Structure 1
Amino acid sequence: MSDTPPSDLVTVGIANRVATLTLNNAAKRNALSAALLDALVAGLKSLDTQEVRVVILRAAAGLPVWSAGHDIKELPRGHEDPLGYSDPLEKALRAIRELPVPVIAMVHGTVWGGAFDLVLSCDMIVADETASFAITPVNLGLPYNTTGLMHFIGRLPMNLIKEMFFTAAPLKAADAEHWHIVNHLVPSAELEGFTRTLAEGMTAKAPLAVAVIKEQLRVLSDYQPIAAQVFERIQDMRRQVYESADFQEGIAAFLEKRKAVFRGT
């Protein structure tokens, strides 16, 4: 099956001042490739010239996987930070968090790895019973970046973060509702209608006030001062992981479709 053309990886539709951005690469289970993420950022930027007051981020209808997460084939395998500041996923997360209108993630299907960070970076999540959420860097021997960890710390209890990161086990929809990961859990047949009603209800509110409150909340939640020596120590620990044999083994095992054998080296 041929790859989806870049222009079609993320489609944009606008109606009643609500923009719907749809991840549209079923052939690769909406893996977060650089091409798809660049298309997502371009789609968000295109809204600057539109009368848009709310964005819905979704996968194409009917897909059992909302997103398979970071495209593993594109992760650097040399002595390079796999999740640096300029990584396409990091750019997309910032674009969503800094967009001056609310972004609602509408989730049908499973959400894996970096895609969980993506939906957490949205302002709200509406999901149905098919949804589940997993964060999976330990399956690859991948050191998750500090910025990404802060996204989780800002949203979830520490014991849940540790369980999800240490086990990589998916969290089912009902449990995601229990832990307030999702704002609303609705039946699959009602997902689109409920999400659109929620979005259209916000379009009547004062857009400048919404934009400023969103930015205030972002700045206040992001403000976590870290001493320079602490940050340097964290980066050095991460470097030891992404330069390890385990990281090479994790990527190789994924690509070869076998179970990884980690040796702690």
Structure 2
Amino acid sequence: MGEATEHYITSSAADGIGTITLAHAARRNALSHGMMDAISAALAGFQQQSVRVVIIAAEPGAKVWSSGHDIGELPVGGLDPLRYADPLEHTLRAIRRFPGPVIAKVQGSVWGGAFDLVLSCDLVVADASATFAITPVNLGVPYNTTGLLHFMGRLRLNVIKELFFTAAPAEAAQALEWGVINWLVPAEEIDAFTLDLARRMAAKAPLAMAVIKEQLRVLSDEVPIAAQTFERLQDMRRLVYDSADYREGVAAFREKRAPRFTGR
């Protein structure tokens, strides 16, 4: 079966495998509220259909897998741009809590919050066209603590610092070495390879798979942080998203010019 959700994604399910295809090429698959709501709804539908494995991909030939958070939807005026209730955060939780493996099939560039989405998937299959960049320092955005924990659950600390501090894209071979990618395969083989991987996992015991995934999520996500430490981090983030630099970063992106950061 297959269906289209607005113009953001297409989704289909067959033989216990669900596929979500990012299909908003006009906006380079930006993670807008509409896109996130569509993905979350597709995942909820797959769960009701007892889908065992999900593949998230972009349309064939897309040079940009996803451009990341829709900058036009970032709030200004002292509001947290990455709050718990944000649709992107809701979708990341839906991926991480889906009771079966979620595979990111990546061809093309991955930017900003889309990198967090890829890391929220259980496995990543990519071809040589894949690149990965996390770019909050280009915009003056204080990345949220939950998102940083997602990166810390997958990558070495020095790698995380290089990615966040430079905002430079990591090429596919580097991403494989760092552990972002599970499998780097030729472009002409990626569809068959990913489907075969999904089929092999879909043939395993679904209840055991679900509980193992949930145990791993809890063990990696439920990192205890003292209340006063969390509040201090949130206060530090608040100073940034209420700063002139944050307003300048967002304005510069919208005006397609280089930002002029002052540290205030």
TM-score normalised by structure 2 residue count: 0.97
The AA in structure 1 aligned to 2:172 is A
CA distance in 2, matches of 1:216, 1:222: 10
| Residue 153 of structure 2 corresponds to residue 154 of structure 1 | yes
Residue 121 of structure 2 corresponds to: 122
Report the alpha carbon displacement of residue 9 of structure 1 after superposing the two structures with TM: 1.1
Q: Could you report, residue by residue, the CA deviation over 1:66-86 in whole angstroms, capped at 9, with x for unpaired residues?
A: 000000000001111000000
Separation in 2, partners of 1:51, 1:218: 20
Kindly indicate whether residue 206 of structure 2 is the aligned counterpart of residue 207 of structure 1.
yes
Q: Which segment drifts farther, 51-60 or 30-39?
A: 51-60
Which consecutive aligned stretches of 4+ in structure 1 deviate over 3 angstroms post-superposition?
none
Residue 131 of structure 1 aligns with which residue?
130
2:262 aligned partner: 263
Please say if residues 93 and 118 of structure 1, whose CA atoms lie closer than 8 Å, have aligned partners that are also in contact: yes
1:164 matched residue in structure 2: 163
Secondary structure at 1:169 match in 2: coil
Q: CA deviation at 1:6?
A: 5.2
Q: What is aligned with 2:91?
A: 92
Aligned residues of 2:79 and 2:241 also touching (Cα < 8 A): yes
In structure 2, distance between residues paired with 1:53 and 1:229: 40
What do residues 203-256 of structure 1 show as CA deviations (whole Å, max 9, x unaligned)?
110000000000000000012111111001000000000000000000010001
Distance in 1, Cα, partners of 2:126 & 2:20: 16
| 2:142 pairs with 1:143 | yes
Q: Gaps spanning 5+ residues in structure 2: where?
A: none
Q: Give 2:56's aligned residue.
A: 57
SS at match of 1:21: strand
Answering whether residue 123 of structure 2 is matched by residue 111 of structure 1, we say: no
Quote the offset at 1:259 in angstroms. 0.4
Equivalent runs, 1:159-198 vs 2, <5 Å: 159-198=158-197
Report how many aligned residue pairs link the two structures.
261
Read off the aligned partner of 2:55 and give its amino acid letter: I
Measure, in 2, the Cα distance between the counterparts of 1:47 and 1:203.
13
Aligned mates of 2:127, 2:240 — CA distance in 1: 36
Deviations 1:64-108 (A, max 9, x none): 000000000000011110000000100000000000010000000
Q: TM-score, normalised by structure 1?
A: 0.97
The 8 Å contact of residues 6 and 35 in structure 1, kept in 2 or not, is answered as no
1:49 Cα deviation from its structure 2 partner: 2.5
Conservation of the 8 A alpha-carbon contact between 1:128 and 1:188: yes
Equivalent AA in structure 1 for residue 154 of structure 2: R
Q: Any idea what the Cα deviations from partners look like across 1:118-172, whole Å, max 9, x if unmatched? A: 0000000000000000000000000000000000011100001001101100000
1:29 and 2:28 correspond: yes
Cα gap change, 1:203 to 1:175, in 2 (>3 Å): same
SS of the equivalent of 1:105 reads strand
Aligned to 1:219: 218
Secondary structure in 1 aligned to 2:6? Answer: helix
What secondary structure does 1:8 align onto?
Answer: coil
Q: 1:134–1:168: 8 Å Cα contact kept in structure 2? A: yes
SS of match in other structure, 2:105? strand
> Does residue 82 of structure 1 match 2:81?
yes
Contact 1:10-1:43 at 8 Å conserved across structures = no
Q: CA deviation at 1:61?
A: 1.1
Q: CA separation in 2, counterparts of 1:102 and 1:48?
A: 12
* Aligned sequence identity (%): 62
2:6 is the counterpart of 1:7? yes
